[in-house]
Structure 1
Amino acid sequence: MTENKRTNDPEGVRRRIVDAAYDAFVSRGYLATGMLELRERAAVSGGAMAHHFPAKRDLGLAVIRGRVSEAVQQTWIAPLHSSADAPTAIDHIFANIIEELTRNGAVSGCPLNNMAMEVSQHDAEMREGLDAVFTMWHEALSAKFETDVERQRVTGINPTGLATLVIAAYSGAMAMAKTHQDAGPLVDCRTELAALLAAKYASR
């Protein structure tokens, strides 16, 4: 006797839609991607799409709060927690990103920055979601710099300001790399940030 198995998987369908949307928003942009295209990318019916995400905005919020937030946590925050100090973590992060972009031969940009540039002026709730991710990133960097100040007795460092500088430098370099379709700006940014942080950490 064969036992019937339930094939319906609402969470799996939802995850597939969010994954497809994340890839599309990063590669093509939020505004340029239509719901029909997302249905085709996720291979779901119109009914399934409408059930999970009645509007594109709902899907955009899910991508920001889920995949974009996860990307920042994996790319930046986890290495910050596992590294000896902030300069080591930042250099390691840049090296990994540069290696990946060079291997792929294409630059799609920073998911957070891409969406922030597109939607921040158009939707308050999406802007708040993006701001929450930036805040999480900034707080993690600031905390790492503060820990270095306490443990290594580094002087002349403003952890909050330095965290802002690192995020701004990375975001700008990534935007330039996307425009040039070349990781060169990130290589330059990595070199200059390393020199700057080395000089600051020499003040003890």
Structure 2
Amino acid sequence: MTGNRRTNDPQGVRRRIIDAAYDAFVSQGYIATGMLELREKASVSGGAMAHHFPAKRELGLAVIHDRVAEAVRQTWIEPLDACADAPMAIDLIFANIISELTRKGSVSGCPLNNMAMEVSRHDPEMRDVLSGVFDAWHEALSAKFEADLASKHVRDLNPSSLATLVIAAYSGAMAIAKARQDVGPLVDCRAELAAFLASKYRLATRAS
């Protein structure tokens, strides 16, 4: 029955492989994860693995496209679209991440950062795809700051630079949290970003 399910559900097999790879790449790293290990985690045959992903690199690209980009969209871009302004959205995003990591009791790090740190120097195509995910994240933040400039009459803010700052602060805090297996750095980063943005918005509003 297992063989029939795999034969009749190629997209399901592909999803299982990508899901297993995503979990492994995030938790233990892309380089450290072998294809045989992923076959076992996904419960697929060698033939099925070779059919969908003849090489590990192709699987890595699929994970970036199908899972890492989606994680950034769900975690960052959707809340930015849904909230009234950038400071509110960023604070909510940090709160959600901290709550989820506290519930899990472990910190695997940012999937995008994890893969970027490992593969960007070694594979130009993977680097370009990862860069595209960073670009989408940066564009979403920049657009939210731009909208605040228009709707709130806030001045003297540089949306692009602020977007870079937020991404860098989050990425650094997540790296420290992963190293320590402690959400404390993310808690600190959330508080400092909230205070900084509140100050910038107040000062800019007064200046108008």
Q: What SS does the corresponding residue of 2:32 show, helix, strand or coil?
A: coil
Offset of residue 155 of structure 1: 1.2
Q: Distance in 1 between matches of 2:39 and 2:196?
A: 47
5+ unaligned residues in a row in structure 2: which ranges? none
CA deviations 1:45-100 (Å, max 9, x no partner) are: 00000000000000000000110000000000000000000000000000000011
Q: Does 1:79 align with 2:114?
A: no
Structure 2 equivalent of residue 136 of structure 1:
136
Q: Does 1:196 align with 2:196?
A: yes
Q: Distance in 2 between matches of 1:56 and 1:23?
A: 15
Q: Distance in 2 between matches of 1:54 and 1:129?
A: 19
Structure 1 equivalent of residue 109 of structure 2:
109
Q: Distance in 2 between matches of 1:129 and 1:38?
A: 22
Q: Distance in 1 between matches of 2:83 and 2:155?
A: 20
Q: What SS does the corresponding residue of 1:101 show, helix, strand or coil?
A: helix
Q: What SS does the corresponding residue of 2:30 show, helix, strand or coil?
A: coil
Superposed, which structure 2 residues align to 1:167-178 within 5 Å? 167-178=167-178
Superposed, which structure 2 residues align to 1:1-204 within 5 Å? 7=5, 8-202=8-202, 203-204=204-205
Amino acid at match of 2:161: G
* Aligned positions, number: 199
Amino acid at match of 2:21: A
Identity among equivalent positions (%) equals 74
Q: Distance in 2 between matches of 1:86 and 1:68?
A: 22
User: TM-score, normalising length from structure 1?
Assistant: 0.97
User: TM-score, normalising length from structure 2?
Assistant: 0.95
Higher percent of residues as helix: 2
Offset of residue 25 of structure 1: 0.1
Q: What SS does the corresponding residue of 1:96 show, helix, strand or coil?
A: helix
5+ unaligned residues in a row in structure 1: which ranges? 1-5
Q: Give 4+ residue runs of structure 1 displaced > 2 Å after superposition.
A: none
Structure 2 equivalent of residue 3 of structure 1:
none
